Amino acid sequence: MTPYFDYHALAPVIVLTAVTLIALVVDFVWKGSGRQAVPQIAGVGLLLALVPVFTLAADGETRVMFDGAYVVDDYALAFAAFFLIVGYVSLLLSYDYIAEGDFYQGEFYVLLLTSVLGMVIMASSRDLITIFVALETVSLPTFVLAGWRKHDTRSNEAAIKYFIIGVLSTAIMLYGMSLIFGMSGSTLLSDIYKTAGGDNPALFAVAIFLTLVGFAFKVSAVPFHWWAPDTYQGSPMPVTAFLSVASKAAGFVALLSVIFFGFFPSTDSWQPVLWVLAALSIIVGNLAALRQTDIIRMLAYSSIAQGGFILVPLAVAGTNDAAKSSFEAVIIYILIYAAMNLGAFACVIANARRTHSTAVSSFAGLGRTSPAVAVTFSIFLFSLAGIPPFAGWFAKFVMFRSVLDAGTPAAVVLGVIAAVFSVVAFFYYGQVIRQMWFHEPADLGETGPHKVPVALVAAMSITMVVVVVIGVYPQLFARIGDVAFPVV
């Protein structure tokens, strides 16, 4: 029996694969001038892959393939589009950085595309093996990307640490998954949902725990986070942006799928685990970020803390019909987080181009020297802190909404922790804002070019429009969360 192929449903993946191969061949065959074309090809490819996503969305039909292991529904399409756009913005961030550095160019974009390909597959995966394959397709290229600056020891350290963690977490996750398969006799999430561990709930809880630990590494949730600051700091900055947004989001999407389509009925097994991960990530991430003097490390801890906020709705999803509001909250938070964090990285890259530094103090007086970058960066930082009227407030709002929708004491306690620490967070975001606006420009000696390159301006503009428009009219994203909710 040949499996059923729906080529329309697979079109985004096919386009992306084709473009990746074309980019590889172009780089390989036309060595000189061809290499310059690779980033353009990659960019066009990402946008081209969006076309079938939209036609599929317009079609509106849910397409199921491979016995339900690969599903193209609104949820999958929303995230496919999201990953393609995030990939495109990451590409914009990389363009000048990679071109100006003494790096190989072609491979960079090929690896980036491959990773995005994994993410698009991830959005549709409804099967443990498919999820695993997608996750590895996401991760493997990023190990190489993290070590891109191969003459830099920090970059080497970043890659090695990231690689070891990646392998370790995969091993743990696979072990958990194999136990689950042993008990439910299937790798399909829908089957796992039905059997819910069968007659051995205790072992099933252990299996869920191990799987969740694996994911916790991927999304750098405390206490499985310690690799993140070093990896983020050592990696080339555009790669850091990609890791902290795209690959993190991919981890969350996998987690969301596994929880909602697979583990959901065994509430008692996954809720407490996620509760602890969320609370610890929020507390440790925010407190550690307070002490950072390097902007990349600060953003690394900030992304750990933000990851904690994304975990909050998941940690209460199983109580009192809070499923829908939690599901929406996670999706909306991921979308908004991506926009503001990518934007923040664009500003950091722009500033580092000029100052050759990533110290927080290198932002001193930016409001005087390049007001446009300073205004943009301030908006992203305020948004990350959750201050209206920028999109971050809505992300926090839907998070609190899910907590109170659940309404249990445990949920409310988590909500109060989140509320208190979202205030603490302003302290370090505000520190950068203070540097930019309240301080005199520091004498930096020799500085790089003042002008922000076009690609970075484009990245900043796209993300800023999202942050401002969604902040004022959040319904645009709210609708995505609404339609993506699966009828389980």
Partner 1 sequence: MDSFKDWALTAAVFVPLVGMALVMIIPKAEETAIKVTALLTSLVTLAIGIGILADFDYDNTAKMQFQVDKEWIPLINARYHLGIDGISLPLLILTMVIVPLCIIYSWNHFPEPHNPKAFLALILLLEVGMIGTFVALDLVLFFIFFEVVLLPMFFMIGVWGGPNREYASIKFFLFTLFGSALMLVAFLGIYFLSKQQTFDISTLSALEGSGIARGTQVLLFAGLFLGFAIKVPMFPFHTWLPDAHTEAPTVGSVLLAAVLLKLGTYGFVRIALPILPQGAEVWAPWIGLLSVIGIIYGALCCLAQRDMKRLIAFSSVAHMGFVMLGIATLTDFGINAAVFGMVAHGLITGMLFFVAGSMQHRYHTREMSRLGGLLVSAPKMGWILGFCAMASLGLPGLAGFWGEFPAVLSAFEPSALANGIMGNTESTLWTFRTYMVIAAIGTVLAAGYLLWMYQRVGMGEPKPEFEDAHIHDVHVDEWIAWTPLLIGIVVFGLFPNLIFSITDGAASSITRAFSG
Does position 393 bind partner 1 by CB under 8 A? yes
Does position 397 bind partner 1 by CB under 8 A? yes
Return the residue of 25, 419, 442, 458 that touches partner 1, per CB under 8 A: 419
Residues 6+ apart with CB under 8 A from 442: 361, 362, 364, 365
- Reference 231, options 139, 161, 336; nearest CA is 161
Which residues are bridge partners to 65 per DSSP?
A: 70
Does position 21 bind partner 1 by CB under 8 A? no
CA 191 to chain centre: 28
CA dist., res. 447 & res. 351, Å (int):
10
Does position 427 bind partner 1 by CB under 8 A? yes
Does position 410 bind partner 1 by CB under 8 A? no
Stretch that binds partner 1, among 25-33, 60-68, 296-304, 476-484 (CB under 8 A): 476-484
Q: How far is the CB of 434 from partner 1 (least distance, A)?
A: 6
Cβ proximity to partner 1, 149 vs 401, nearer residue = 401
Can you tell me which residue has the tokens 């959750």?
386
Does position 415 bind partner 1 by CB under 8 A? yes
Can you tell me which residue has the tokens 């980019």?
23
Residues 6+ apart with CB under 8 A from 298: 289, 292, 360, 428, 432
**Site residues (CB under 8 A) for partner 1, limited to 308-337:** 328
CA dist., res. 203 & res. 183, Å (int):
9
Stretch that binds partner 1, among 16-24, 25-33, 191-199, 423-431 (CB under 8 A): 423-431
For the chain, how many residues are written?
Answer: 488
Stretch that binds partner 1, among 21-29, 198-206, 227-235, 424-432 (CB under 8 A): 424-432
Q: Which contiguous run of DSSP H or E holds residue 65? A: strand 63-65
Does position 290 bind partner 1 by CB under 8 A? no
Return the residue of 132, 401, 455, 456 that touches partner 1, per CB under 8 A: 401
Which residues are bridge partners to 72 per DSSP?
A: 63
Cβ proximity to partner 1, 188 vs 298, nearer residue = 298
- Reference 131, options 200, 89, 180; nearest CA is 180
CA dist., res. 49 & res. 12, Å (int):
5
Dump the DSSP string for 114-131: HHHHHHHHHHHB-BHHHH
Q: How far is the CB of 342 from partner 1 (least distance, A)?
A: 22
- Reference 121, options 141, 140, 136; nearest CA is 136
CA dist., res. 133 & res. 301, Å (int):
28
Does position 215 bind partner 1 by CB under 8 A? no
Cα maximum dimension of the chain = 72
Q: How far is the CB of 42 from partner 1 (least distance, A)?
A: 35
**Site residues (CB under 8 A) for partner 1, limited to 363-382:** 382
The 428-467 contact track toward partner 1, x by CB under 8 A, reads: --x---x--xx-----------------------------
Number of chain positions touching partner 1 (CB under 8 A): 36
Does position 420 bind partner 1 by CB under 8 A? yes
Q: How far is the CB of 66 from partner 1 (least distance, A)?
A: 33
Give me the half-sphere count of Cα atoms (radius 13 Å) on the Cβ side of residue 186.
17
**Site residues (CB under 8 A) for partner 1, limited to 22-51:** none
Cβ proximity to partner 1, 154 vs 439, nearer residue = 439
Residues 6+ apart with CB under 8 A from 188: 67, 68, 69, 126, 127, 128
Q: How far is the CB of 275 from partner 1 (least distance, A)?
A: 17
Cβ proximity to partner 1, 23 vs 256, nearer residue = 256
Stretch that binds partner 1, among 11-19, 28-36, 81-89, 383-391 (CB under 8 A): 383-391
Cβ proximity to partner 1, 167 vs 404, nearer residue = 404
Does position 223 bind partner 1 by CB under 8 A? no
Does position 405 bind partner 1 by CB under 8 A? yes
Cβ proximity to partner 1, 24 vs 484, nearer residue = 484
Residues 6+ apart with CB under 8 A from 322: 313, 316, 402, 405, 406, 407, 411
Return the residue of 201, 265, 272, 388 that touches partner 1, per CB under 8 A: 388
Stretch that binds partner 1, among 93-101, 248-256, 350-358, 472-480 (CB under 8 A): 472-480
CA dist., res. 317 & res. 284, Å (int):
23
Dump the DSSP string for 329-398: HHHHHHHHHHHHHHHHHHHHHHHHHHHS--BGGGGTTHHHH-HHHHHHHHHHHHHHHT-TTSTHHHHHHH
Cβ proximity to partner 1, 116 vs 391, nearer residue = 391
CA dist., res. 80 & res. 249, Å (int):
11
Residues 6+ apart with CB under 8 A from 151: none
Cβ proximity to partner 1, 177 vs 433, nearer residue = 433
- Interface residues with partner 1 (CB under 8 A) are 328, 382, 385, 387-389, 393-394, 396-398, 400-401, 403-405, 407, 415-416, 419-420, 422-423, 426-427, 430, 434, 437-438, 473-475, 478-479, 481-482
